[in-house]
Amino acid sequence: MTDALPVNDYVRKILDARVYDAAVVTPLDPMRRLSRRLGCDALLKREDLQPVFSFKIRGAYNKAARLDAPALARGLICASAGNHAQGVALSAQKLGARAVIVMPVTTPQIKIDAVRHLGGEIVLKGDAFDEAYAHARALEAEQGLTFLHPFDDPDVIAGQGTIGVEILQQHPGPVEAIFVPVGGGGLAAGVAAYVKFLRPETKVIGVEPVEAACMKEAIAAGRRVELPRVGLFADGVAVRQAGEETFRLCRDLLDDVLLCDTDAICAAVKDIFEDTRVIAEPAGALSLAGLKAYAAEHPARTGALIAIASGANMNFDRLRHVAERAEIGEAHEILLGVAIPETRGSYRAFIERLGRRVITEFNYRYAGPGDAHVFVGLRLRDARAEKPKLVAELKSMGYGVLDMSADETAKLHVRYMVGGRAGALLPERVLRCEFPERPGALSDFLDCLGTDFNITLFHYRNHGADYGRVLFGVEAGEKDRARLDDRLARLGYPYEDETDNPAYHMFLKG
């Protein structure tokens, strides 16, 4: 990193940024449907309309265009799984330079093809960004290439900050808050530097996924922290550690950092589609999820709320997962596990007691003469208000009720496995892990477990992301726990123990 720049210097760099040879001025569109629903003036800054469908072209081109002739002639290199890669590739194409793009082997083909179409030389290395980054740095040294950092660089930050210039020009009226997605922090730092200088009364609020909150953790700790792992659903912001310079600026300039879960992000993807007919990528909808959370908590407002739609490089296969989770994120759907008597007429009686509510899912399989366990999804107008009343009503009728609306294992796996009860088993341990989408991943998993653990349960579903999610069980008692943990640690896949998960006990445990 270079020496830290004062905010005034960043404002000058932003106003002097060279972005429009490659980028375009994007519109600030009203979200009319959402504004009516939230009772506020909600607007969307449409960075999905850039030539590479992401804001990343701004910072990448500003950095590349300011390189001296020898640095440009040596060629550019970066590590990225998507949007920054396309930004660097297009910048190199515009400037007549070579571009080497190092991407994880798990990168979806749609993004690899996009970079190749722009003339980038693709090198696939590692399962995740960290391995790709290390390899890019090694190639930089070996071949004398010029490295373009995705966020922790003053020229990249300044390029992203031009979004702040456009927002204030396009909306001269009062703005209460601007919501910015945060990964490494380049976009948030650039926008905050300009907006807080010109309109200090306007809040600039960062938004991160719950599973990748590197900036919020860093600000809380007063120093940069490295997360042990990050969730990859919003892959565009799946960063384990904020940048050095971006942390300094965000710590001093952001008014807050909000966290949003997967369901809220999926609901925001749907909101953007309903107002614009565009499908944002999860990271691209993240800031709108934050805007919605803020609007719910702050009914008294003094100006517009603006979210930056940072990108639309959505892998098509991921849409099924988004559609499944959007209803829950909008508080329109709940998932319940209900125990009903396994007697004649009880099934029909239960359906009648649900009334005229829309049933979105109903899974059941006979498992014996005791209670029957039903996995049921219901669409409600306002789940937050209606769910407690419904649960209390069902319990008062003698039904056992388990609310699974916030249970990741239930939503990702159990709903597809209802009826798969095992017979008599020795002690079973159930775990949930993220599984890299690459050739040989399953074989590596099985080889690591070896032949001395009996697999009792396995559910995998491709969600169109870089990582799949797996629920698996093994026959293992307390004496086997340390040995199994050691095997899993050697494998290196992040995992959670779900042996005590109530949805597993209700529907799958033998």
Of 80, 270, 310, 411, the active-site residue reads: 310
The answer to whether residues 465 and 318 touch, using CB atoms and an 8 Å cutoff, is yes
What amino acid occupies position 44?
A: L
**Topology of the domain covering 331-406:** Alpha-Beta Plaits (3.30.70)
7-54+154-326 matches 56-147 in fold: yes
What amino acid occupies position 501?
A: N
Distance separating alpha carbons of residues 65 and 338, to the nearest angstrom: 61
Q: Residue 313's closest CA among 472, 81, 22?
A: 81
Distances in whole angstroms, Cα of residue 462 to Cα of each of 179, 314, 434, 467, 472: 31, 15, 11, 8, 15
270 part of the active site: no
pLDDT > 80? residue 465: no
Residue-wise DSSP of 295-328? HHH--S-SSEEEEEE-B----GGGHHHHHHHHHH
CATH 3.40.1020.10 at 415-507, yes or no: yes
Find the helix or strand (DSSP H, E) in which 253 lies. Answer: helix 244-253
508 or 202, greater pLDDT: 202
Most confident of 71-75, 101-105, 354-358, 369-373: 71-75
56 part of the active site: yes
CB atoms < 10 A from the CB of 3, how many? 6
The answer to whether residues 107 and 127 touch, using CB atoms and an 8 Å cutoff, is no
Radius of gyration of the chain (CA): 25
Give pLDDT, residue 69: 96
Residue 354 DSSP one-character state? T
Mention every residue, 6+ apart, whose C-beta is less than 8 A from residue 370: 342
The answer to whether residues 499 and 429 touch, using CB atoms and an 8 Å cutoff, is yes
Q: What is the pLDDT of residues 142-201, one digit of tens each?
A: 999 999 999 999 999 999 999 999 999 999 999 999 999 999 999 999 999 999 999 999
Residue 4: exposure state from Cβ atoms within 10 A (0-12, 13-18, ≥19): exposed
pLDDT > 60? residue 1: no
pLDDT confidence bin for 371, thresholds 50/70/90: confident
pLDDT > 60? residue 462: no
The answer to whether residues 23 and 58 touch, using CB atoms and an 8 Å cutoff, is yes
Q: What is the pLDDT of residues 89-135, one digit of tens each?
A: 999 999 999 999 998 887 777 788 899 999 999 999 987 777 888 99
Give me the helices (H) in 354-501, please: 383-396, 408-412, 441-449, 481-491
Give pLDDT, residue 414: 87
CATH 3.40.710.10 at 7-54+154-326, yes or no: no
Of 13, 56, 111, 292, the active-site residue reads: 56
Q: What is the pTM for the complete model shown?
A: 0.79
- Give the start-to-end residue ranges of the domains of the chain: 7-54+154-326, 56-147, 331-406, 415-507
Distances in whole angstroms, Cα of residue 286 to Cα of each of 52, 269, 470: 19, 8, 25
Give pLDDT, residue 505: 87
Mean pLDDT, the chain, whole residue set: 88
Return the structure tokens found at 261: 């879960």
Long-range Cβ pairs for the range 26-32 (8 Å, 24+): 26/50, 26/163, 26/166, 27/170, 28/166, 28/167, 28/170, 28/171, 28/306, 29/275, 29/276, 31/271, 31/272, 31/275, 31/288, 32/275
Selecting from 3.40.50.150, 3.10.50.40, 3.10.20.30, 3.40.50.1100, what CATH number does the domain 56-147 have? 3.40.50.1100
Three-state DSSP class for residue 51: coil
